[in-house]
Copies of this chain bind each other. A is one copy, B any other.
Amino acid sequence: MVAAPPQSGLLKVGVAGASGFTGGELLRILAGHPHVQLTLAAAGSQAGAAVSSLHPFLDGVVDLVTCDVATLVERSSELDCLFLALPHGESFGIVPKLTSPALKVIDLSGDYRLRDPSLYEQHYHRPHGDAAALPQFVYGLTELRRAEIATASRIANPGCFATAVTLALAPLVAAGLVTPIVHVSAVTGSTGSGAGVTPALHHSLRSDNFVAYKVFGHQHLPEIQQSLGLADPASSCRLVLQTHSAPLVRGIHATVFAELRSGARSEDVGAVFRETYASASFVRLREQPPNLKWVRGTNFTDLSWHVDGTSVIVLAAIDNLIKGAAGQAVQNMNVAFGLPETAGLKAMIGGGL
């Protein structure tokens, strides 16, 4: 059943993980959302701090004091929707305690994305703590799962690389246009690593630098394979995903290299993109290669495709904190509660610069 929009006005919404980069973006977006009343925000070790103290840019915008996560769980029955923006592994301790039947939960970590818990354990290097709940979770790549999301009460929000790469590849794979070998080169900005500091995030080392990381090993790969139906051993396509750290604050850019199957026509490529995204409010099909400034501060995914002989290149750009995290989570909330899909997501920061 698709939820009716809230009668009495506003959805009561909570955020766990308020102190992180994604938590800050969620709070910013939700504070401006016309159908939302920001009700609870939880921060781990900084519980008790005002949101405006954790995120000084939200001073005068969000007027909430954080509680701890246990308190948020206890009070979760007051909420219509709860976003979990916590480090990987922490949602396992929370989701089983969220028993309020009306509550919808949107988890932004990797904990409930992979249907096969052994894949999770292999890629996240920890036990899966709540395999029993996996069947309840819908994978929240909105453009590809809108109908399921509309009736879901548990949504696993996609990873940032997975969002960009899957939207770039899904039309080609679904239509069977490309051969088994697909190579993806993708780059991320430093917000993609979260607010914690490591030597690799030191400004002096990240600036004016570029480096591949997790060679052959990024944990978003199985998520993409699952979405594309490639986890099936009988699948006719396999993927190499190479991720890179770029001197960007925000953004994911993906360059997808594929080869047309024999018989596939160059013009089929554009046709499947146009058809797949005909009604997508947040996908823009571009003739020119998209750049990150076009999507910065927005929930858009910008895509272009290019064919030369039998080779295809698809280019995708998103803002990792918005379409790659907080924005898509709100988009999913909108769909799950029967609100207009773009509610609260039209306002952009940054104006392309």
Interface residues in chain A, defined as those with a beta carbon under 8 Å from any beta carbon in chain B: 21, 24-25, 28-29, 31-32, 55-61, 181, 183, 185, 187, 189-191, 195, 197-199, 201-213, 215-216, 240, 242, 244, 246-251, 253, 255, 257, 259, 281, 284, 286, 288-298, 300, 306, 308, 311, 313, 315, 317, 321, 346-353
Contacts and interface: CB of A to CB of B under 8 A. Distances in A.
Contacts of A56: 286, 288, 294, 352
Contact of A211 (B213, B291, B311): B291
A239 B181 CA distance: 14
Contacts of A198: 197
A32 B203 CA distance: 27
A61 to B, nearest CB: 5
B190 A351 contact: no
B57 A295 contact: yes
Given A215-B313, A255-B212, A346 B247 contact: no
B216 A352 contact: no
Contacts of A352: 24, 28, 55-58
Contacts of A317: 210-211
Given A242-B257, A255-B185, A311-B240, A349 B61 contact: yes
A189 B284 CA distance: 27
Given A61-B346, A190-B203, A195-B204, 19 more contacts: A29-B351, A32-B349, A56-B288, A57-B294, A57-B348, A59-B294, A181-B259, A183-B185, A183-B257, A185-B242, A185-B257, A195-B202, A208-B208, A209-B291, A209-B293, A210-B248, A215-B313, A250-B353, A297-B349
A218 to B, nearest CB: 12
A284 to B, nearest CB: 6
A349 B201 contact: no
Contacts of A292: 208-211
Contacts of A203: 190, 201-203, 206-207, 247, 249
Max chain B CB contacts within 10 Å: which of A246, A253, A286? A246
A351 B327 CA distance: 12
Contacts of A197: 197-199, 201-202
Contact of A349 (B191, B286, B311, B351): B351
Contacts of A60: 281, 284, 300, 349
Given A203-B202, A204-B189, A348 B61 contact: yes
Contact of A353 (B204, B210, B300): B204
A206 B183 CA distance: 26
Contacts of A195: 199, 202, 204
A87 to B, nearest CB: 16
A249 B207 contact: yes
A203 to B, nearest CB: 4
A206 B216 CA distance: 29
